[in-house]
Amino acid sequence: MPTEIPDTPRTHRSLWMDVWLTFRQHTGALIGVGVFATIVLAVFLGPFVHGVDPQYLDLQARNQGVSFAHPLGTDNLGRDTLAQVFAGGRISLAVGFAAMFLSLVLGTAVGTLAGYFRRLDGPLMRFTDLFLALPLLPLLLVIIMLFRDTLRNAFGPETGIFFLIVFVIGITSWMQTARIVRGEVLAIKEREFITAARSIGTRERRIVSRHILPNALSPIMVSATLGIANAIITESALSFLGLGFPPDFPTWGRLLFDGANFITITPARVLWPGLAISLTVLSVNYIGDGLRDALDPRLRDT
């Protein structure tokens, strides 16, 4: 008699499990996650371990090197560099995430509308090309000079500048996301399941929200990670030019700007915030590369 072979249960993996299995094979992305998580934990939990006020002035401890009391030294006013790096990191990361969210919302909305509705494609893409053709740095400088005092008076010196920096970075960095999302939407809307959804009378808004956007998630998430890095670099550049936050409100870029005049006396003063910016941007870029590979169905293991 023939031997019956029992059926072996098949395991069905979810989409996100496949994404994770592919993502963890990307060594650079895993290192990026570790470095970025370490930086985030350090800037938010570090003040509880190193409980020094970043604005405390100790003129007798000016321009000191590494010591037990000041692990990263002090600046020309005796302020602790490590405490300032922690405080500046919180502001820089907050600006990065907030500006990324704003640019992602604008870019996704413009790209989805342009890709799905043919009558809006021409005007929205020409509008996007207009923003791409603008010289961004002079535009940023003009906007900041025009609205800085108004927002300071309305929301205070710190909150007003925070809103202004996030706004100017967000409205000047959404164009690449819009073009990428538009191309993805143009490909998705011609697929069979979209035709099936239209044939049963599904409303356009529901097709976009339930079918188009979930399937365009891959480029959106990659743009989100790269948007954080771009926002941190832009904020650092503006602060380095002296057009960012006030001097008593440190960010990594502001620390570089303040320490540039003392680089011959205490070179480590610009080393640490510069290293923090570099490691953050590099780790986020590696995470974006890993997400791009993991979310691409052609590269995932089947």
Alpha-carbon span 56 to 88, nearest angstrom? 15
Determine the pLDDT at residue 101.
92
Q: What is the pLDDT of residue 302?
A: 47
**Structural domain boundaries of the chain?**
15-66+84-295
pLDDT of residue 298: 55
Q: Which residue has the tokens 């998430």?
A: 221
What pLDDT does 16 receive? Answer: 66
CA angle 59–60–66, rounded 5-degree value? 100
Q: What is the pLDDT of residue 40?
A: 92
Q: How far apart are alpha carbons 64 and 50 in whole angstroms?
A: 17
Residues 20, 25, 26, 27: what is their CA dihedral angle, to the nearest 10 degrees?
120
Query: What is the rounded distance in angstroms from the CA atom of residue 168 to the CA atom of residue 103?
Result: 10
Q: Within a 10 A sphere around the Cβ of 222, how many other Cβ atoms?
A: 22
186: burial class by Cβ within 10 Å (0-12, 13-18, 19+)?
middle
55-82: buried (b, 16+ CB within 10 Å) or exposed (e) per residue? eeeeeebbebeeeeebebbbbeebbbbb
Contact 211, 252 (CB under 8 A): no
pLDDT at site 8: 46
Contact between residue 94 and residue 231 where contact means Cβ atoms under 8 Å apart: no
The one-digit pLDDT tens for each residue of the chain (302 residues) are 445 545 444 455 666 677 777 778 878 889 999 999 999 999 999 888 888 888 888 878 787 878 888 888 888 888 888 888 998 889 889 988 999 999 999 999 999 999 888 898 889 999 999 888 888 778 877 888 888 878 888 887 778 888 888 888 888 889 989 998 998 888 888 888 888 888 888 888 888 888 888 888 878 888 888 888 888 888 888 877 777 777 777 888 888 888 878 887 878 888 888 899 889 989 988 888 888 777 765 555 54
DSSP state of 212: I
Contacts of 175 (CB under 8 A, 6+ apart): 107, 128, 131, 132
User: Tell me, which fold does domain 15-66+84-295 have in CATH?
Assistant: MetI-like fold (1.10.3720)
Sign of CA dihedral 292, 296, 100, 88: negative
> Full-prediction pTM beyond 0.85?
no
Q: Are the beta carbons of 117 and 189 closer than 8 angstroms?
A: no
Four-point Cα dihedral 255, 266, 263, 82, nearest 10 = -20
252-259 vs 81-116: helix crossing angle, rounded to 10: 130
